[in-house]
Amino acid sequence: MGRGRIRADIARVRLPTTFRAREPRTAARSGAVIALVCAVVLSVSTVFGPNSVSSTTRTASWVGAGLVGLLGVAAVSIRPRTLDRYGAFLGIGVGAVLLTASLNVATDDPSAAGQAFFAFPVLWAASHLRRGAVVAVTTLAVAGDLVALSFLLPLEDALFDVVFFGSVLVVIAAMLDRAGAVQAALVAALQQQATVDALTGLVNRRVLDEALRHALDRAPRPEGTALVLVDVDSFKQINDRHGHPVGDDALVHLADLVRRHVRAGDAVLSRLGGDELAVLLPGCPAEVATQRAGELLEAVRSTPMTLPDGALLALSVSVGVAHAPQHASGMRGLYAAADAALYRAKNGGRGRVEVAAA
């Protein structure tokens, strides 16, 4: 197997989401700070504290301080998303637990202060990692404390200390993990509200603008990019005759038809506001975009909406198509070209597709 193949296999390795960080950058920064604090505490205890009593304890303590310092340096030196992708954050939590257990045995330290170091990786993991990693680090911390104390204390005393200290670790980890999950859910809900139209489920104008900017400026394709604007004909009359709830249902119905007839994998579907929808087609030639606009127009014509009383309401849309670079070069110009084409479709009798002028 060649080196290229090996690198490709490594690149495909991905840690399951449940063992990764909620926000890698924050986890890296927090981990670096905790590592620095622990390294300083270990250094002080090596010079002035209980770890200075013998050459063995001093050596073990200095080695521990150096390893913790290296963990902190790694956390701020390597890209957080790279660390997260390959499980480094879980490894940091596990490594910190194993190091703490080893140091407690090497320095002959069964004290509460020595056991307190198990709290650092557990609290950090519960604050920044996802549930699988929290469970793994917390379980290992309790087990590591038990193994370390069993070398240093009679079994009965070791079990008593582990039950007490382990209970504290488990409860705190569970509370922090729950708080983190609730916060993550709230953030996701806010992001959803900020990017998705609540009525139709399509993305909003801000997301469309960003996608269009990316397609035109950051990742242009040889085939170009098409923008299709769709407007419901006589929408005000629908609202006046049937009521605004039916008008909302008409927009939902239209959005469903757009999803059904435009592949989401190569398109961005958006509600611009009011009764106007937009379809962004990166990497789509002008003639293909025009064909797809026509197919959407026919789908709307052939699929009437069912009213609450069971009656059918036929809908009609006008569609404007513009293409970059054929009709415009920038985002503002592409919007203007598509809007002008839509205006011509409206003025030309509605229920039709118009393409921007070259």
Is the same domain home to 22 and 138?
Answer: yes
pLDDT at 142: 95
Catalytically active residues are 275
Q: What is the pLDDT of residues 219-246, one digit of tens each?
A: 778 889 999 999 999 999 999 999 999 9
Maximum Cα interatomic distance, the chain, rounded to a whole number of Å: 94
Is the same domain home to 268 and 185?
Answer: no
How far is CA 295 from each of CA 228, 248, 298, 307, 330, rounded to the nearest angstrom? 12, 23, 5, 24, 27
Q: What is the pLDDT of residues 100-142, one digit of tens each?
A: 898 889 888 898 888 988 999 999 999 999 999 999 999 999 9
Is the same domain home to 213 and 293?
Answer: yes
What pTM was estimated for this model as a whole? 0.60
| Residue at which a domain ends, from 195, 229, 253 | 195
> How many structural domains does the chain have?
2
The pLDDT of 308-317, averaged and rounded, is 93
Is the same domain home to 167 and 223?
Answer: no
Residue 352 φ then ψ, to 5°? -150, 170
Is the same domain home to 111 and 259?
Answer: no
Is the same domain home to 188 and 214?
Answer: no
Is the same domain home to 239 and 117?
Answer: no
Residue 335 pLDDT greater than 90, yes or no: yes
The pLDDT of 173-189, averaged and rounded, is 84
Residue 343 pLDDT greater than 60, yes or no: yes
Picking from 43, 57, 35, 66, the residue whose alpha carbon sits closest to that of residue 152 is 57
Is the same domain home to 91 and 180?
Answer: yes
Those residues with Cβ within 8 angstroms of residue 73's Cβ, 6 or more apart along the chain or in another chain = 32
Pick the range with the lowest mean pLDDT from 12-16, 19-23, 145-149.
12-16
Q: CATH no. for residue 229?
A: 3.30.70.270
Domain carrying residue 333: 205-355
Residue 200 is assigned to a structural domain of this protein:
no
Is the same domain home to 287 and 139?
Answer: no
